[in-house]
Amino acid sequence: MKSFLIIGMGTFGHHLCEALCRNKCEIMIVDQHPEAVEDMLPHVTEAKVADCTNIEVLRSFDVPSFDACFVCVNQAFQACLEKTDQLKELGAKRVYSKADRDLEAKFLRRCGADYIIYPERDAAERIAVRESSEHIFDFISLSEGCAICEIEPPREWMGRSVAEVGLRSRYNLNLIAARTDDEKLHPVLDPAYKFNEAEHILVLGNMDDVRRVTT
């Protein structure tokens, strides 16, 4: 079972903690305010009320024992930098730090952050992609320009197979799964699979290529 340290139990910290709990992980949460940790007490392995800008406090947590550490504080950016730097100094395996701007991400990476979390930006981008197209129904960004998208197959693909359409060779997209009327996702690996009107498909590829088949 994996174990995680979450520093900062604001809105994002709470959602992250709940998601990790649903995935049967061991979690230690820390915040300066007692009321911030109270709701999660029945669900986490350990909860601390402490000021993590003090490296001695962090040292007492045995930071290297966690699979990953999350810096989710809603304080001044300086506090985020300090906690990120101190976690890496203490031997954290992976550090996720929350940022609001690219400039903040730049300095967090310099302090050792392995991954940057942009909660508001990512949510806004997901909504924008979904709402700006009649044929894109969901969107998960993976890296710069690359994403998994739930789309409606173009009408000219109907009754034709993945191979016949040339999904990869012609459109540079990879079919991952199909979502049928029962709302369940069905993995698709067979190039002989035929597209039909009663489904949406999940494709992996560059957003420019996705837009090319959905406009």
| Secondary structure of residue 15 in the 3-state scheme | helix
In order of their start, the domains of the chain are 3-117 (3.40.50.720), 122-214 (3.30.70.1450)
What does the block give as tokens for 124? Answer: 């806004």
Contacts of 30 (CB under 8 A, 6+ apart): 5, 6, 7, 8, 9, 37, 47, 48, 49, 50, 52, 61
Whole-number pLDDT of residue 75: 66
Stretch 147-153: mean pLDDT: 92
pLDDT by residue (tens digit) across 171-194? 999 999 998 776 778 888 888 999
Residue 132, pLDDT > 90, answer no
Average of per-residue pLDDT values in the chain: 90
Contacts of 99 (CB under 8 A, 6+ apart): 80, 105, 108, 116, 117, 118
Stretch 137-141: mean pLDDT: 86
Whole-number pLDDT of residue 96: 96
CB atoms within 10 A of CB 115: 13
CB atoms within 10 A of CB 3: 15
| Secondary structure of residue 33 in the 3-state scheme | coil
What does the block give as tokens for 2? Answer: 């994996």
pLDDT by residue (tens digit) across 6-30? 999 988 999 999 999 998 999 999 9
pLDDT by residue (tens digit) across 67-77? 999 999 876 78
Stretch 102-124: mean pLDDT: 90
